[in-house]
Chains A and B, each alone.
Chain A
Amino acid sequence: MFLALLIALIAVFVVAYLLGASRARALSGGDPARLHSLPSYHGSYVAIAAALPAFLLLIVWSIAAPIIADRMVLGQFTDAIAGMTQPEAEAFLRDARAIAFGGIVGFTDATKEAAAEFYSGIRTTTNTILILIMAALALGGGYLATRSQTAEKRTRQVVERVMMIVLIACSVVAILTTIGIVLSLIFESIRFFQKVPFTEFLFGLQWSPQTALRADQVGSAGAFGAVPLFVGTLLITTIAIAVAAPIGLLSAIYLSDYAGKRFRAAAKPVLEVLAGIPTVVYGFFAALTVAPFFRRSGEAVGLTVSSESALAAGIVMGIMIIPFVSSLSDDVINAVPQTLRDGSAGLGATKSETIRKVILPAALPGIVSALILAISRAIGETMIVVMAAGLAANLTINPLEAVTTVTVQIVTLLIGDQEFDSAKTLAAFALGLVLFGVTLVLNFIALRVVQRYREQYD
Chain B
Amino acid sequence: MDATITTEASPTEAPAPAELVNNQKMTARKVDVFYGDKQALFDVDLDIHEHQVISLIGPSGCGKSTFLRCLNRMNDTIDGCRVTGAIELDDQDIYEKSIDVVEIRARVGMVFQKPNPFPKSIYENVAYGPRIHGMTRSKAELEEVVVTSLQRAGLFEEVKDRLESPGTGLSGGQQQRLCIARAIAVSPEVILMDEPCSALDPIATAKIEELMDELRTNYTIVIVTHSMQQAARVSQRTAFFHLGYLVEEGETDQIFTNPQDDRTHDYITGRFG
Contacts and interface: CB of A to CB of B under 8 A. Distances in A.
A353 B54 CA distance: 32
Contacts of A260: 79
Name which of A344, A345, A346, A357 has the most chain B CB atoms within 10 A of its CB. A346
A343 B186 CA distance: 13
B168 interface: yes
Interface stretch (B86-94, B112-120, B136-144, B224-232): B112-120
Interface string B90-132: 0000000000011111100110101011111000000011001
Interface of B: 72, 74, 77, 79, 101-106, 109-110, 112, 114, 116-120, 128-129, 132-133, 168, 179, 182-183, 186
A125 interface: no
Contact of A343 (B79, B106, B118): B118
A261 B79 contact: yes
B41 to A, nearest CB: 19
Interface in A194-213: none
Nearest to A347: B129
Interface in A337-376: 337, 339-350, 353, 357-358, 361-362
A349 B129 CA distance: 8
A63 to B, nearest CB: 56
Contacts of A261: 79
Given A348-B103, A348-B105, A350-B102, A339 B129 contact: no
A345 B74 contact: yes
Nearest to B131: A357
A361 B119 contact: yes
A341 B77 CA distance: 10
Interface in A259-305: 260-261
10 contacts: A337-B116, A340-B116, A343-B117, A346-B72, A346-B105, A347-B106, A347-B109, A348-B103, A349-B128, A350-B102
For the complex of A and B, the 8 pairs showing the least CB-CB separation, nearest first, are: A346-B110, A348-B105, A339-B116, A348-B106, A343-B116, A347-B129, A348-B102, A362-B119
A418 interface: no
A346 B114 CA distance: 14
A228 B72 CA distance: 61
B119 A347 contact: no
A427 to B, nearest CB: 48
Contacts of A361: 119-120
Contacts of B128: 344, 347, 349, 357-358
Given A347-B110, A347-B129, 18 more contacts: A339-B112, A339-B114, A339-B116, A340-B116, A342-B74, A342-B112, A345-B74, A345-B77, A346-B72, A346-B74, A346-B112, A348-B101, A348-B102, A348-B105, A348-B133, A349-B102, A349-B129, A362-B119
A337 B112 CA distance: 13
B112 A348 contact: no
B183 A347 contact: yes
A340 B179 CA distance: 11
A456 B168 contact: yes
A350 B119 CA distance: 18
A347 B118 CA distance: 12
A348 B118 contact: no
B147 to A, nearest CB: 18
B183 A346 contact: yes
A340 B168 CA distance: 12
A381 B101 CA distance: 49
